[in-house]
Structure 1
């Protein structure tokens, strides 16, 4: 199958067909197009045209299209749909996706949309999911799953599984519960097929099963599923009752969103934005960290002003100021990036003191190598050994301090419950610039005796 590619020609043809309301031609073109590709088309055309497409296609396809649309496009389309039309779309979706869409609707029409859903069990499941915090396992899970009672025999189990599986898109696991719906374990399909039909399930199921609480953070759910290579994980409430499951496709979205968030934090962007957002939104996201950089620059300039007499006598020190600041920033970002990665993957072992000692040793070794190169270069260039020595020793000290700051800061933020990814951005760069400049001129002043 050839991968779909949205060309300018195809986009122009679809727009023209919509304007001319040539429905049969549109249906012919989009008949075999995947819903994710239809969403890509809808994201690129005008909102009224996208709404036209959604109303034209069958709900079993457009419901999935809605989940793939950009948030602003989906919001605009939903505004142009009646409560009944929205309800028809929701009935085709798994409960987690349906609940996400309902949560985006204006409060005044939510009740009306829910009342239009003909499948009352589906409607009740959606309402139940809306009770959970968005940033939790409960807000991420779906109610669709296959579960069997430990007191059933294999034959009863198979019959019930057939009924339940009709409402489940993909059956990753079969969960075993007791009469109170307490999660007891999981059932192997192989064991089910090779066991006598009269055998009780309690003698067949596997009691060990990984699960998460409804209040668990999505990032922790992602970590557990990644660690144990799970395609799905059951979700239990405070007393251990099975209330839903989270599948790998939902976790991929969580990982993607977290990676985008961390990348933007590292780049000095304080909120989730995209390239197509308004200038005002982009300014709000960027300006706080740019302001921090401005403060850092003013601070560095003030520090240099305090050493004005020394700079006037040894102008060469001024020429190496950008190098010192750059090295401090680079080392700090490298150190913090490693720590942030370790925290994210939960593979950061050992105490903070051991981590700091290791970073000091690493920074010292790197600093010595770089300082020797800088020493011989400066000495050969200017022929002044004391000045070259002062610059080189300063470089070692700056690298060591930057490594300590880059290591300690994300660990400190993590302990305080703040996203440590913030440490890899302008925060580390700015702080290391200031400390680096201060250490550089202070050591130079001690060695040169000024």
Structure 2
């Protein structure tokens, strides 16, 4: 299969076909393109053109297209569709995707759409999903699954599975429940095929099955599925009843969103924003950390102003201020990034003191290496005095060790307090290490140079 490539020529061709209302050729062209690629095309069209395509194509394809669109584009398209038209799209979707789209509608419109869904069982499942917090396993799961009763025999089980599988896009697992719908285990397809039709399911099912509760955080679900290499995981309610399942495609979306959020937080963006958001939204997301950075700069300037006499006597010290700030910031961000990644992957174990001790030793090794390189460069490149070079070298080692410890301690501390440790990287660590680095630099220089 040749990978799809979105080109300017293709967009222009589609725009021309829409303008001339050449529906037959438009359908012929788009029928050969995957729905995810059509969504990419629609993201490049204006609202009227996008709505025209959605109304033109069959619901079995446009329903999947809607799930792939940017939220803003999807919102504008849905605003141009009637409640009945939206309901027709949702009937083609799994309940989790349908619930996500319903949640984006106004309360009044959502009620109208649900009332227009002809499959009342499908509508009931969507309503059931909407009662869960979107940031939970319940809000992430789908109701479509295949389950069998432990008291059925194999023949009954196969008949029931055939009926259930009609509504399931992909059968990852066969779950076993009791008469109260409580999850008991899973059924191996191999055992099902090789067992007598009169055998009861309770005699052949596998009792060990990983599951999550409806109130579990999506990040925790992702960790479990990643750890045990699961393609799907069943979801149970507070009393152990099987209520849905979460599939790997939903978890990939969770991991992607979490990575994007952590990346933005590491860059000093405190809210989930995108490049196309308004100036006001972007300003609200960026300004808080910029103010913190500015306060850090003012703090560093205040420290420097307190050593004006020293700078008069040893003006060469001014040259190495950027060195201290840059090194401290870089080391701190490196340390915190490793720790944040370890916390996210749940690979950091043991006491905090062991981790701090390791980073302290690592900081000392790196600091000594940097100081050695600096002494060579300062001697041959800057022609500084021996005492000044020694003062700067010792300060550099101390700054590196301090930055490594801070970059390790703060994320772990925040994580233990239930705060996302990703907030520790970027501007927070850089600013704190800049200020402390300057203070350490001048304090050590004062002791050695005697000013």
Coarse TM-score class (shorter-chain normalised): over 0.9
The residue that corresponds to 1:427 in the other structure is: 428
Shift of 1:110: 1.2
The residue that corresponds to 1:46 in the other structure is: 46
**Partners in 2 of 1:255 and 1:430 — Cα distance?**
29
Say which SS state the counterpart of residue 276 (structure 1) adopts: coil
Shift of 1:383: 4.5
**Partners in 2 of 1:17 and 1:285 — Cα distance?**
41
The residue that corresponds to 2:419 in the other structure is: 418
Task: Single out whichever of 286-295 and 165-174 deviates more from structure 2.
Answer: 286-295
The residue that corresponds to 2:371 in the other structure is: 371
The residue that corresponds to 2:439 in the other structure is: 438
**Partners in 2 of 1:398 and 1:311 — Cα distance?**
20
Task: Single out whichever of 278-287 and 110-119 deviates more from structure 2.
Answer: 278-287
**Partners in 1 of 2:287 and 2:13 — Cα distance?**
41
The residue that corresponds to 1:448 in the other structure is: 449
Task: Single out whichever of 369-378 and 37-46 deviates more from structure 2.
Answer: 369-378
**Partners in 2 of 1:21 and 1:298 — Cα distance?**
62
The residue that corresponds to 2:196 in the other structure is: 196
Structure 1 residue runs of 5 or longer lacking an equivalent are none
The residue that corresponds to 1:297 in the other structure is: 297
Runs of 4 or more, structure 1, over 3 Å off, are none
The residue that corresponds to 1:66 in the other structure is: 66
CA RMSD, Structure 1 to Structure 2 (Å): 0.8
Following superposition of structure 1 onto structure 2, how do residues 40-439 of structure 1 map, counting pairs within 5 Å?
40-380=40-380, 381-439=382-440
Task: Single out whichever of 124-133 and 297-306 deviates more from structure 2.
Answer: 297-306
The residue that corresponds to 2:29 in the other structure is: 29
Shift of 1:428: 0.4
**Partners in 2 of 1:249 and 1:311 — Cα distance?**
60
**Partners in 2 of 1:34 and 1:273 — Cα distance?**
28
Shift of 1:258: 0.4
Shift of 1:200: 0.7
**Partners in 2 of 1:126 and 1:132 — Cα distance?**
11
1:292-326 residue CA offsets vs partner (Å, 9 max, x unmatched): 11111111111100111101111111100000000
**Partners in 2 of 1:312 and 1:326 — Cα distance?**
23
1:48-101 residue CA offsets vs partner (Å, 9 max, x unmatched): 110010000000000000000000000000110000000000000000000000
**Partners in 2 of 1:105 and 1:60 — Cα distance?**
21
Shift of 1:173: 0.2
**Partners in 2 of 1:44 and 1:109 — Cα distance?**
27
**Partners in 2 of 1:265 and 1:197 — Cα distance?**
57
**Partners in 1 of 2:404 and 2:143 — Cα distance?**
47
**Partners in 2 of 1:3 and 1:278 — Cα distance?**
33
1:221-248 residue CA offsets vs partner (Å, 9 max, x unmatched): 0010001000000000011100000000
Say which SS state the counterpart of residue 134 (structure 1) adopts: coil
Say which SS state the counterpart of residue 43 (structure 2) adopts: helix
Task: Single out whichever of 267-276 and 122-131 deviates more from structure 2.
Answer: 267-276
Shift of 1:276: 2.0
Say which SS state the counterpart of residue 44 (structure 1) adopts: coil
Say which SS state the counterpart of residue 411 (structure 1) adopts: helix
Normalising by structure 1, report the TM-score.
0.99
Say which SS state the counterpart of residue 164 (structure 1) adopts: helix
Structure 2 residue runs of 5 or longer lacking an equivalent are none
Shift of 1:286: 1.4
Task: Single out whichever of 108-117 and 134-143 deviates more from structure 2.
Answer: 108-117
Shift of 1:114: 0.5
Say which SS state the counterpart of residue 229 (structure 1) adopts: coil
**Partners in 2 of 1:266 and 1:377 — Cα distance?**
32
Normalising by structure 2, report the TM-score.
0.99
1:142-175 residue CA offsets vs partner (Å, 9 max, x unmatched): 0000000000111111110000000000000000
